Amino acid sequence: MQLSTRFASSVFFTGLTLMAVTGISAYVFTERLARSELLVSHSTEVQANINLVQRDLEASDAAYRGFFLTQDADYLTRREQALNDLVHDIQEVKLLTADNYRQQLTLERIQGLLKQELDLQHEALLQPPESAEQKAALAASVKRGEVLTTTIRGQLDSMVQEEARILEERTVISSRLIERTLKILTGAFMFASVLLAVLFVVLYRELRARSYAEEELRSLTTQLLSLQDQERRRIARELHDSLGQLLASVKMNLSTVNGSESATHAAQVEDAMNTIDQAITEVRTLSYLLHPPLLDEVGLQSAIEWYCEGFAQRSGLKVTYNPSQPVERYSHSVELALFRVLQEALTNVHRHSRSTTVEVRLQRQNSSVTLEVEDNGIGLPPEKMSLFRRGSARIGVGLGGMRERVNKLGGSLTISSSPLGTCVSAKMPGLVKEPPEPVLTPSTAPARKPFF
């Protein structure tokens, strides 16, 4: 059972809504994830700068101790450089932790302790120990400095631990955001896949139903064209064998009584015989147009030549028939299809093209035969050409019938049109008759009758 169009529309709009919601959700979670990653990166940077402060503090203390052990002035230069780096790195940490009140308090304590330690070291450097008392005072100052250094390191360690805790929290939040984002995207993808599958089934069934309907329509059109040809042949035979014979009999009877009547009656009989002659001509022409016997008796090439001569007499157009070379007999279906294409094409030229000349060409190319009808008229309207190229059923009965006849036999119908004229080309496979029908000689072939 086919799904309804309303259901398919509902599925489609549901899919669009889901895509919109998924896009908004993905954008929101991506923004939050980006902010979380920035926070994680920020915590990592804070830890790195705290480690730099620790390194600068150790370098400063090492240079201070090295000077007292060696009295080498180079150690003072190193200490000065380490202190400058220490001040700079502390400022960096202070800026990075501006949003953390606890870290700011700890940093202030570290700065206070560091100032005390630097003051002790500065006093020791200004008064080198000479006496025993000075040496004892220096030793006590060094001990206080070591205590201060240990306290500072403890404070720095607490800052590192605080940042590690913050980093862990932020990493967990980031991981959860990633997990949620993946879940939402996975769920949306799976649901969208289901919707796509449903839409595929709907479209597949609709296309299959449409293809089946088009195939049925083509089959019906082919049957109608075949029945039309059969009916034309039957009517042509009836006109020729029945009505034509009756008119011929009436004419013979009038001929018999023509000499025995008075002059007044003789004129009336003569007029009646002329009228019957016209009727016989019309019946014969109509019979041949419905189904030309030349097509069955001598083949397509002679039938085309006869039809072009009659069409030129009737329409007043200049019709040129140019067969490239003698064309062999083909299957009846191919010859009939090409002849009907010729009839329809010339009829369209006479009705619509405003053309003055028409050229008909019949060409044999390897195992195929091509019929071309080209005029110098105004061309087909663009909308009509567009419908023809798309294979639309709204192209009309004439062009549609030509296309169905040709396609049914594996051929192709092409139309090229411009304001300078139109060319209709029908290319058909050979399909030579097996066995071929007997070809009449010119002496035994029926006389070609005019279009009227």
**Domain stop point among 201, 216, 249:** 201
Specify if 62 maps to a domain: yes
- Are both 197 and 90 inside the same structural domain? yes
What average pLDDT does range 144-173 have in this prediction? 83
Question: Within a 10 A sphere around the Cβ of 382, how many other Cβ atoms?
Answer: 9
Range of the domain at 336: 294-452
User: Which pLDDT does position 452 carry in this prediction?
Assistant: 28
Sign of CA dihedral 20, 26, 29, 32: negative
- Are both 430 and 319 inside the same structural domain? yes
- Are both 68 and 174 inside the same structural domain? yes
User: Which pLDDT does position 7 carry in this prediction?
Assistant: 67
Please write the tens of the pLDDT for every residue from 352-392.
888 889 999 988 877 788 899 999 988 888 888 888 887 76
How does the average pLDDT of the chain come out, rounded? 77
- Are both 190 and 301 inside the same structural domain? no
**Peptide bond before residue 435 is cis, with ω within 30 degrees of 0:** yes
- Are both 299 and 182 inside the same structural domain? no
Specify if 349 maps to a domain: yes
Q: How far apart are CA 302 and CA 333, in angstroms?
A: 16
- Are both 313 and 441 inside the same structural domain? yes
Specify if 336 maps to a domain: yes
Q: How far apart are CA 358 and CA 346, in angstroms?
A: 8
Specify if 374 maps to a domain: yes
- Are both 163 and 309 inside the same structural domain? no
pLDDT at 312 over 70: yes
Please write the tens of the pLDDT for every residue from 11-67.
667 777 777 777 787 777 778 777 777 877 888 888 888 888 888 888 888 888 888
270 with 237: CB under 8 angstroms? no
Q: How far apart are CA 262 and CA 74, in angstroms?
A: 161
- Are both 341 and 192 inside the same structural domain? no
Q: What is the CATH number of the domain that holds 355?
A: 3.30.565.10
Specify if 361 maps to a domain: yes
Of 129 and 85, the one with more pLDDT: 85
**Domain stop point among 177, 201, 225:** 201
Specify if 395 maps to a domain: yes
Please write the tens of the pLDDT for every residue from 234-289.
776 666 666 667 667 777 766 766 655 555 566 777 777 778 777 777 776 676 66
What average pLDDT does range 165-187 have in this prediction? 81
Of 451 and 204, the one with more pLDDT: 204
**Domain stop point among 166, 201, 236:** 201
- Are both 37 and 157 inside the same structural domain? yes
Specify if 95 maps to a domain: yes
User: Which pLDDT does position 448 carry in this prediction?
Assistant: 40
Please write the tens of the pLDDT for every residue from 112-121.
888 887 887 7
**Contacts by residues 15-21 (CB-CB < 8 Å, ≥ 24 positions apart):** 15/192, 15/195, 15/196, 15/199, 18/188, 18/191, 18/192, 18/195, 19/192, 21/188
Q: What is the CATH number of the domain that holds 22?
A: 1.20.1330
Burial class for 114, CB neighbours closer than 10 Å (0-12, 13-18, 19+): buried
pTM: 0.47
Q: Give how many domains the chain has, as a whole number.
A: 2
Specify if 189 maps to a domain: yes
What average pLDDT does range 198-202 have in this prediction? 79
Please write the tens of the pLDDT for every residue from 208-233.
887 777 777 667 766 776 776 677 66
